[in-house]
Every structure is written in C-alpha cells, then in structure tokens.
Structure 1
C-alpha cells in the first residue's frame, strides 16, 4: 500500500509576545506515516498538541521545523511545510477536507449555499451540486427549515453537522477530523460513523483527533497518544 503522507521531525513553536518573546512548543519531533486508505486516530489531553499537528498538515500553521511530504495528484510529492500558498490552496480545494468543531463562513452564506459552493468548486454543475448537497444535509439530519438560514444562528451540534457535510460531500482523498463528534448525540455519531466508513470504502485516507475513545476505536486502523507535544505509540486497532 502506497504512503499518502509522511511527517518527518515536525516541530511547531509559538511566540508569546507579551512574555518577552518566550517560545512555547506546540508539538515536537513528530514522525508519522499514513498509508493510502488508512485512518490514524490521535488521543491526548486538551493542550497536548493534537490540533497543532492537523493545522500544520492543512497549513493553517506554518511548521517551525520538519517536513510533511504529501503525495498529491496535482503536484506529485510535495512538502506541505514549504509548499507555495497557491499549491496549498489548490490541494485543499481538490484533495483535502477538514472538519473542525468551529464553523467559519461568510456571514451572509446559508447552510445550503455553503455545501453547494464546495461541490461547484470541485467541478459539479449547479443542478448536481444542489441534489448532492441536499442528500448530504439529510444524511446528517440537518432540518430543512435550517437550510436557508445563516449558520451563525445554529447550535454547536448543528454547526458541527454542517461542517461534516461540507467536508465529506466532496468525498476528499484525504480528510482531517478535529473532534468530529464533540457536540453530537449518539444518533448523530452513528451518522458520522456511517459516512466515515463509506469514505474509507472509497479509499479516503484520514487522520482524526478524539476524546471519544469508543467512537475512535470503532473506525481507526492505528492509534497514537499525544503527551506534552510528543507522539507516543502507533498501535493497530481492530475496525
């Protein structure tokens, strides 16, 4: 099985300007290999550095040191730590999905428009995008009365379900999940698990961070634990 992603000696630090430029390590000496079609789960206490890894991969954060080699369809083997902004934007739009607990959209974009936009950007016609967006919103049981509302009025669980819909509707080649079940009830978690397993069946590779260990162990192939910015383990899990 080919490797999709290889992280080598990743280190990310943050400067605390209010404390005489003090440096704080977000993550240190991170080494990880993700095979095509594999799902890696990362656990750890809040503040351990889990989200820092995902944000370095997605290039929300620029790594301080290290390499993040991604086998892109568009550019071949590319180091995301040093890729140009154009390369990063292209890869995000065409290949990578990101699910966060937090929803960031333009203020006057409705929930329905937000999902349609993702599909149109990935080459779907307007009619196809409308149909597929509706199907995905129904899957995550986002009430139709909310489709044409602005997401800043949604509850935390509704925002997360919309985030999941937007990330998964394009069936990404690579999916990053930051606490994808954080504010969901058991029924909604089942919908997320169904969609994750469907994407896995289609070959999507994933890295996710979790506090819900039972959910994680039902979907991942390998588990790591994060302690004080360091990655520990690499245990295979039965799915």
Structure 2
C-alpha cells in the first residue's frame, strides 16, 4: 500500500439517548481502518451499521469515545484528530481534511461561486487563483453559469449537491470524506460527478466514502469495507465484497 494518510485504531463511539432514560447505544465498536494516499475506500453495510458515524468521527463532528484517528498531513506530520483541540481542528480542516455530505449547509446570502471560491481560498490559494479553480469546478459539474451568483438556498437539491461537491473537491484536501455525494443527481450530472471523484485518487487524494449506489462503488472504490453492528465485518476488492451486498439485498 502507498503511504497511510488515515489510520484508525480501536475506534469506539457511544451515544447517550437522553430522552430515553439516558440509556447508551454503541455506534462504533473497536473499528480499525487504513486509507492510503491515492486510495478510495468505500464503506458499505445496512442502515445503522456505523458508516456515517465513522465518517463523522474522522471529521470530528462526533467526538470518539475511545481510540485514535491519525491523519498524516501533507508535511508528513501525524496528528490524532480524536485528541486535537477545536481551534487546531478547524485550521486543519481548511488545509488537509474535507467533508462532502448529501446536503449543502450554506451560510445565508452566499452564492455558489462565493462558496466554492472560499473553499479554495481556505486551502491556501490566492484569491485570483481560487476564483479560477472555483469556476473550473462548477463548469465540470455542469452548474449553469446563470446560477453562479444567485443565493444558494434557491437552488434545487441536485444543484446544491453539485455546489457541495465542487466546494469539497476544489483544490482537494489531503483526505476527503464523502457521504452520499451523488444521491440527488440525474444520470448525466451523476456521471460528471463520478468523473470528478475519480480524478481525486488519480491525483493522490485519500478518499473515504459512503455510497448506497453499488455501481458507483464498483466504478470508484479500490477497496470496500463492509460494516455491521459498528464493526468492520469484511474488507476487500469490490469484486469480492459487492456480490455479498447484492445477495443480502435479495
């Protein structure tokens, strides 16, 4: 394997259900996972298996209960995201760590072009260059230029999803987390989005994703990790793991 960008060890996440007598639910149970530079690892499994919880623990939307989430930065430094101070984490996200969900959570009165330009600038690009790469990203994802300067909250679901993907992939970070990034797209725009995602690994980006679309996984993933009950149940080539998923769905 190429150099390890993400190393997860013995990761657990316990949720407290405050409105049901404070009982606890184990979302992740001792997960171990590696993702190399230029590798796309797709997480698979049924609803509640722990896929999105794992992504959110890596991005630190959720604070892990125990375990380590080690990121190797572009300077070669290894940082445990699970123990990082909040202000350090925010700075690191701009440069090294990206997250694309199926929903665009845009600040009010921001245009698609502004959102993507700011994302590029947060990764260290000068303003003029950030504008250029933002325009290229929006064109690659087929967003009509007439929509670039409107408020993002008036866009359709599919348009918002393309803006979200453009912001996540423009001047891409060292590690990119994808949570159902093409779920709202029509076939033509889905194909454009998959091309953009495929280019990431060819340029050395480490990608950890969740897709319910098995065809997308087969096209993009180098490795599929099957999760069950908060654990890694199986890991291997898509040609080995995807038939297991297809059989389970019958």
1:139-154 matches, cutoff 5 A: 139-154=140-155
| Structure 1 match to 2:86 | 85
How far residue 124 of structure 1 moved from its aligned partner, in angstroms, is: 2.3
Q: Report the Cα distance in structure 1 between the residues aligned to 2:204 and 2:179, rounded to whole angstroms.
A: 20
Which of 79-88 and 157-166 deviates more? 79-88
Q: Deviations over 1:45-87 (max 9, x none)?
A: 2222111000100011100111111112357111111111122
| Structure 1 match to 2:106 | 105
Q: Report the Cα distance in structure 1 between the residues aligned to 2:30 and 2:4, rounded to whole angstroms.
A: 20
Quick check: 2:95–2:124 contact (8 Å CA) kept in 1? no
Q: Report the Cα distance in structure 1 between the residues aligned to 2:136 and 2:73, rounded to whole angstroms.
A: 28
How far residue 94 of structure 1 moved from its aligned partner, in angstroms, is: 0.3
SS at match of 2:83: coil
2:59 aligned with 1:58: yes
| Structure 1 match to 2:19 | 18
Task: State TM-score, norm by structure 1.
Answer: 0.95
Runs of 4+ aligned structure 1 residues displaced above 3 Å come to none
How far residue 123 of structure 1 moved from its aligned partner, in angstroms, is: 2.6
| Unaligned residue ranges in structure 2 (runs of 5+) | 240-250
| Structure 1 match to 2:170 | 169
SS at match of 2:92: helix
Quick check: 2:38–2:200 contact (8 Å CA) kept in 1? no
Q: Report the Cα distance in structure 1 between the residues aligned to 2:76 and 2:89, rounded to whole angstroms.
A: 10
Compute the RMSD of aligned alpha carbons: 1.4
Which of 117-126 and 24-33 deviates more? 117-126
How far residue 11 of structure 1 moved from its aligned partner, in angstroms, is: 0.7
Task: State TM-score, norm by structure 2.
Answer: 0.91
1:170-189 matches, cutoff 5 A: 170-189=171-190
| Structure 2 match to 1:115 | 116
2:68 aligned with 1:67: yes
| Unaligned residue ranges in structure 1 (runs of 5+) | none
Which of 78-87 and 206-215 deviates more? 78-87
